Amino acid sequence: MSAPAAETWLQVRPEGLYCVPGDFFIDPLRAVPRAVITHAHADHARPGHGAVLASAETLALMRARLGAGAAGARQQPVGLGEALTLGGVRLWLAPAGHVLGSAQVAMEYRGQRVVVSGDYKRAADPTCAGFEPVRCDVFVTEATFALPVFRHPRAGDEIVKLLASLALFPERSHLIGCYALGKSQRVIALLRQAGWQRPIYLHGTLMPLCRLYEALGVPLGELRPVIGATKAELAGAVVLAPPSALADRWSGRLADPVTALASGWMQVRARARARGVELPLVISDHADWDALNATIDETGAAEVWVTHGAEEALVHAATRRGVRARALRLIGYGEEAGEDGGEAP
């Protein structure tokens, strides 16, 4: 191979993954002059950067979460698939299927192509564009659920479980913990797909992002703030709240709630029990074990860099299939309280 080793132009630095010729970081962990952001989750989209390049939706979500002042001094929206060149590096974004606006970062330099996945999933999601595999030489993949016990069921089947519980306990509120960005809107959209027409009640912190999703073209049906709802209205109702708020006192107004949590971690019972959940819903916005491995193979990459989770198992499995694999050991992702159930691996 005549191309230089990817490590020579794409390096792990304390701030995060750095593209040397392009002079930018991808999802840096602290404020930097130039950042490319895969998606608006707080562990990927940190405040205070100089220039920020991302999808228009990601930029809108960042402004809503961080405040316009902290979401990058200069914001450069780029459409999915639209290529530009930075310091000799050809760069474009491809859909990642994780949350609205989420993207993979594809880069070409001196005939070599590297794709950084960001967070991604392969399962269908009515609230965002589906993942598109991009052929590449080096694939930098997340590994949040990279253990062979994580084989997530169809999200629709989990919604069927929720509806069965609503039918069995028609007097009880069903309080579902879901991360504010992405998971909440996906759960609402899945409920609507399954025919749940009634108003869905939201903890105060979820409303702004749901409204923004709707403004960005994702309809969610009738949403009401839980504040101000009567006990009678909340009996048998679906109520969404961030996972961190499940045990709070405000939920005292709910009618004998069935506490649910929508997260990929719910696949392991001890994790669900540790959260005190009565109805675990295995709904994940990350690729499961089978999807991670299938995606690595689909990219055709000869080399895989693994970050963000259970690196050891995925490196082992990829190596067994003849793919060169190593762990990047970037520290700081997936640790935001609340993301996908609020638990770092």
Partner 1 sequence: MKPFAALLERLAFTQARGAKLALLQRYFAATPDPDRGFGLAALTGGLRLATARPAQIRALIAARTDPELFALAYDYVGDLAETVALMWPAADEGAAPPGLAEVIAALERTPREAVPGQLAAWLDRCDASERLALLKLITGGLRVGVSARLAKVALAGLGAGGVAVEAIEEVWHALTPPYGALFAWLEGRGERPDPAGAPSFRPPMLAHPLEADDFARLDLAAYRAEWKWDGVRVQLAAGPGGRALFSRGAEDISAAFPDIVAAMGFAAVLDGELLVVREGMVAPFADLQQRLNRKAAPARLLASHPAAVQLYDMLFDGEEDLRALPFDARRARLEAWFARARPARMGLSPLLPVAGRAALAALRDGAREAGIEGLMLKRADSPYLAGRPKGLWWKWKRAPLTIDAVLLYAQHGHGKRGGLYSDYTFGLWREDGTLVPVGKAYSGFTDAELTFLDRWIRTHTVARFGPVREVEKTLVLEVAFDAAQRSTRHKSGVALRFPRISRIRTDKPANEADRLDTLLGLIGPGKD
List residues binding Zn ion (CB under 5 A).
Answer: 41, 119, 333
For helices 207-215 and 56-66, the axis angle rounded to 10 degrees is 150
Please name the helix (run of DSSP H) or strand (run of DSSP E) that holds residue 116, with its range, or none.
Answer: strand 112-116
Which candidate, 38, 40, 101, places its Cα nearest to that of 70? 40
Q: Are 117 and 96 in contact (CB under 8 A)?
A: yes
> In the set 58, 104, 173, 267, which binds partner 1 (CB under 8 A)?
267
Cβ closest to partner 1, residue 74 vs residue 316: 316
Q: Determine the residue type at 213.
A: Y
Q: Which of 129, 223, 317, 328 binds partner 1 (CB under 8 A)?
A: 317
User: Least distance in Å: CB of 318 to partner 1?
Assistant: 12
Query: For residues 185 and 337, what is the distance between their CA atoms, to the nearest angstrom?
Result: 18
Stretch that binds partner 1, among 6-14, 73-81, 107-115, 266-274 (CB under 8 A): 266-274
For partner 1, the binding residue among 129, 271, 298, 327 (CB under 8 A) is 271
> What is the 8-class DSSP label of residue 152?
P
- Asked whether the beta carbons of 168 and 176 are under 8 A apart, the reply is no
Minimal distance in Å, beta carbon 148 to partner 1? 5
3-class SS of residue 81: coil
Which position among 162, 191, 310, 330 is part of the footprint of partner 1 (CB under 8 A)? 310
280 binds, among Zn ion, partner 1, none (CB under 5 to 8 A by kind): partner 1
Residue 41 binding: pick among Zn ion, partner 1, none (C-beta 5-8 Å cut-off by kind): Zn ion
- Min dist CB 274 to partner 1, Å, is 6
**Residues 10, 99, 136, 147: which binds partner 1 (CB under 8 A)?**
147
E runs forming strands in 39-109: 51-54, 74-77, 84-86, 89-95, 103-109
Choosing from 151, 231, 324, 329, the residue that interacts with partner 1 (CB under 8 A) is 151
276 binds partner 1 (CB under 8 A): yes
Q: Are the C-beta atoms of 238 and 176 separated by less than 8 Å?
A: yes
119 binds, among partner 1, Zn ion, none (CB under 5 to 8 A by kind): Zn ion
Query: Interface with partner 1 by CB under 8 A: which range of 40-48, 78-86, 197-205, 267-275?
Result: 267-275
Q: Which stretch binds partner 1 (CB under 8 A): 20-28, 238-246, 277-285, 300-308?
A: 277-285
| Contact positions with partner 1 (CB under 8 A) in 155-194 | 165, 168-169
Contacts by 74-81, CB closer than 8 A, 24 or more apart: 74/50, 75/51, 76/51, 76/52, 78/53, 78/54, 79/55, 80/55, 80/129
Overall size of the chain counted in residues? 345
Type and span of the H or E element at 326: strand 324-327
In the bound complex, what is the minimum distance in angstroms from residue 255's beta carbon to partner 1? 13
Could you say whether residue 274 binds partner 1 (CB under 8 A)?
yes
Radius of gyration in angstroms for the set of CA atoms belonging to the chain, rounded to a whole number: 20
By CB under 8 A, residue 326 contacts partner 1: no
Nearer to Zn ion (CB atom), residue 112 or residue 141: 141
Beta bridge partners of 35: 25, 52
Q: Min. distance of Cβ 177 from partner 1 in angstroms? A: 14
Strands 34-36 and 24-26: parallel
Where do contacts with partner 1 occur on this chain (CB under 8 A)?
147-151, 153, 165, 168-169, 258, 267-274, 276-280, 310, 312-313, 316-317, 320
